[in-house]
Homo-oligomer: A and B are copies of this chain.
């Protein structure tokens, strides 16, 4: 069933039917009613490609997901929840979501293709790095975009939605300091990722304010896997003056930290404290009533929604000035933190 058939069926011109369906004012209300009913009855839906051709808009948003490639980067675990949030919003506004899975080295090519083929009206930039090259590229080719995160070192203004990673980790560090911890291990993501850099800044700021020198031996950064959390915890525990607390950049990583701690015969929340960042991934909930881990919490699904809304706003009104949205993470106290243990206690365990 297409427009032509439908209008013939109704004894009207395609013009009128099209107008009726798209809510134009110059069509008689009675006629519109009749058209809508007929469309419903015949299960008519306009062909997206034809509509797109005629209007010049794609009614679709692109998400380019770089996958683990040469550099053995791990796929982003927050991705699923993020697109769930964004997708909800697109559906609500009648937009499609186009996903491009691509090796990192082909990213530029994909963006150009997306633009020149007219596949999408805009894109979301995931997992921004410091001085991310995608910003100038997208600006150059004229594809509207919103960044999920921020790009340190970018001079030009651009659209972004981000969690206040610095303040979150600053607060988390202060929380641990208040509990008496002085040796706090930072288990961070790769620090060419913007968010990881900001988190370390927050951590260091807090230490500095109390006149504590950050110990390089207590700061590591890598792909945030369970094994990384496990290994680096074991390593730090070897330190003659081992940390009594860990600040961790992801739940998955924190699970590895816990494994290491418990394997050493210590108890999380009593002998060793852990604070982690919690993206509220739907499949990795941090406990039910009481959080398992004390955590800086911020819903990545919600972030997805906000990013999508911002992008649609800018597509609808290309003249709009760049917007930004800074989300504050909550600090949720769970079972994984407690006052610093007495030195003697730790000694006798190790």
CB closest chain-B residue, reference A50 = B53
Chain A contact residues: helix, strand, loop or mixed: mixed
Determine if A191 is an interface residue (Cβ-Cβ < 8 Å). Answer: no
The interface residues of chain B lying within 8 Å CB-to-CB of A53 are 47, 49-50, 53
Query: A43 is contacted by which of B88, B116, B285 (Cβ under 8 Å)?
Result: B116
> Taking the full assembly, how many copies of this chain does it contain?
2
Known contacts A65-B84, A99-B83, A101-B84; A285/B45 CB under 8 A: no
Report if A76-B46 is in contact (Cβ < 8 Å); known contacts: A96-B98, A97-B100, A101-B88: no
A88's nearest neighbour on chain B, judged by CB, is: B101
* Cα A284 to Cα B75 with chains together (Å): 10
CA distance A227 to B292 in the complex (A): 9
Digitize A66-82: 1 where CB-to-B-CB distance is under 8 Å, 0 elsewhere.
01100000111101110
A residues with CB within 8 A of B:
1, 43-50, 52-53, 58, 60, 65, 67-68, 74-77, 79-81, 83-84, 86-88, 90-91, 96-102, 112-113, 116-119, 224-227, 252, 255, 258-259, 262, 281-285, 287-288, 292
For this complex, 12 residue pairs linking A to B, each with C-beta atoms less than 8 Å apart, are A43-B112, A48-B117, A48-B118, A68-B282, A74-B282, A74-B283, A75-B81, A76-B283, A77-B80, A77-B281, A87-B100, A91-B101
